[in-house]
Amino acid sequence: MSAASFAALPDPPYWAVIFSNQRRGHGEPADDAGYAAAAQHMVDLAADQPGFLGIESTRDGSGFGITVSYWQSPEALLAWRRQVDHAATRELGRERWYEHYELRVARVERAYGWNQA
Amino acid sequence: MSAASFAALPDPPYWAVIFSNQRRGHGEPADDAGYAAAAQHMVDLAADQPGFLGIESTRDGSGFGITVSYWQSPEALLAWRRQVDHAATRELGRERWYEHYELRVARVERAYGWNQA
């Protein structure tokens, strides 16, 4: 996913989906193009969901990535997961893009930030 | 931090600290060496704390990183944060390493994983 920046979030509580993942065959250009498009599509889908608050995402050169999406309520998060879990998307992810992933659903209780300037 | 891999975690509930951060002056070799050493020191400190469960960390080429550390209880997490918050470490982080960071403390309620194999 292309959003390499901070999500502007309201005060807690809100919900987070922590998606840690290892890309498969990272660095193959054809595969990467397909993945980038699909990842952007997922971000667009999420942003259109009611209760979506923001997303932060990064990946290192070895293909290990962490994406955290933030949601207003468990209901908002569940509605999105239902959409994402549609068999087609999940199977593509498993057969083509990921070697391994872990997904953790958490309730954010406290938040702090610091910004130079 | 160097741990570009998955944390092996028990079943929820447990706690997560989601640390999103933008490195400052990323790519300057002298600074990077100091940062790598300090980041490894932080991981070692965390791993020595009672109640530490694991850590996942990644950073892209622009210097945007996400590190998630996992803890058995709010008490374990607070004890670690008290250590990390020692003025010396925090000031170094602010003056030398980070342009911006956000820290979110969350209670993990559910977890799912998938592994090729």
Find chain B residues with C-beta within 8 A of A112's C-beta: 102-103
Contacts of B109 (CB under 8 A, 6+ apart): A105, A106, A107, B12, B13
| ipTM of this predicted structure | 0.89
pLDDT digits (tens, 9 = 90+) for A50-72: 999 999 999 999 999 999 999 99
pTM greater than 0.95 (yes/no): no
CA-angle at A9, arms to B102 and A13, nearest 5°:
95
Report CA A91 to chain centroid distance, whole Å: 17
B1 or B55, higher pLDDT? B55
Report CA B106 to chain centroid distance, whole Å: 14
Sheet holding A98-115, edge to edge: A52-59, A64-71, A14-23, A98-115, B98-115, B14-23, B64-71, B52-59
Closest chain B residue to A97, measured at CA: B116
* CB contact (8 A) between residue A109 and residue B113: no
Find chain A residues with C-beta within 8 A of B116's C-beta: 24, 94, 98-100
Looking at residue A86, what is its pLDDT? 67
Please give the Cα distance from A43 to A47 (Å, whole number).
Answer: 6
B60: DSSP letter: -
A44 or A10, higher pLDDT? A10
Please give the Cα distance from B9 to B112 (Å, whole number).
Answer: 11
> DSSP 3-state assignment of A96?
helix
Contacts of B78 (CB under 8 A, 6+ apart): none
Please give the Cα distance from B107 to B91 (Å, whole number).
Answer: 28
Residue from the list B24, B68, B116 with its beta carbon closest to the beta carbon of A18:
B68
pLDDT digits (tens, 9 = 90+) for B21-79: 999 876 665 567 788 888 888 888 889 999 999 999 999 999 999 999 999 999 999 88
Residue A2, pLDDT above cutoff 60: no
**Of A11-25, A39-53, B22-36, which one has max mean pLDDT?**
A11-25
End-to-end CA distance of chain B: 27
Residue A87, pLDDT above cutoff 70: no
Looking at residue A10, what is its pLDDT? 96
* CB contact (8 A) between residue B105 and residue A98: no
The CB density around residue A84, as the number of other CB atoms within 10 Å, is: 18
Looking at residue A3, what is its pLDDT? 42
